Amino acid sequence: MRKDMKHEFWHQKWEKNEIGFHLADANPLLVKHFSTLNLKPESSPKISPRVFLPLCGKTLDIAWLLAQGYRIAGAELSSIAIEDLFKSLNLTPTIKTLGEVTHYSAPNIDIFVGDIFKVSSTILGAVDAVYDRAALVALPVDIRKLYTAHLITLTHHAPQLLICFEYDQSLHAGPPFSISADEVKQHYQANYDLTLLGSTAVAGGLKGLCPATEHVWWLKPLK
């Protein structure tokens, strides 16, 4: 499947408001485990840690992170999602074009709308950590290896909190896709020390279709 066909899939999801993946609150695993990254919010926003959320959508995790004193950077394919995000935050973004992506910005938050593979480290700027709840699990297997390699380069091996699902893929085609511990290792163990911080059963199963477990990983750079 071509990338542009995958893009059309997600654009249609947002246009039809088929966003069952969108939680009504901050992810409990984020709230419980984000402190593991040992980032220290400072009093000045100029030096507060900056957290990158790939394929962020309009997640309420962003509001939670902002409330904790962090600065936010994000990448998202859908402008609908990001317009909704800024409305929910009661912010009016400044919007400008940067290369092949559109930059939405307001105090302490920068979101880059477009293909994440078009976001360069120059466009993104420095980040102190990555929080991936929605990206790896959203991408089909042929794109995941490209994505993880790009993310490592894009963020200069920034530490990461990764949340993913595991379930019997034969019972549900995805997305979200099932990501095993072995696959996490295939993508990241050459660059990170991997620690499984916790696992929890998905209440009611994945979309009510099959039992599933949500895992949270800490990826600590080896260098």
The annotation places the binding site for S-adenosyl-L-methionine at: 14, 55, 76, 133
Q: For residue 78, give every residue at least 6 positions away whose Cβ sits within 8 Å of its Cβ, in sequence order, or none.
A: 10, 11, 14, 57, 113
Tokens (6 digits) for 63: 């509001």
Report the binding-site residues: 14, 55, 76, 133
- Phi, then psi, of 71 in degrees rounded to 5: -90, 150
And the tokens for 72?
């936010």
Is there a cis peptide before residue 45, judged by omega within 30 degrees of 0?
no
Calpha distance 59→72 (Å, rounded) = 12
Span between the terminal Cα atoms of the chain, in Å = 35
Rounded Cα distance, 18 and 114, in Å: 19
How buried is 184 (Cβ within 10 angstroms: 0-12 exposed, 13-18 middle, 19+ buried)?
buried
Residue 55's closest CA among 101, 94, 112, 6? 112
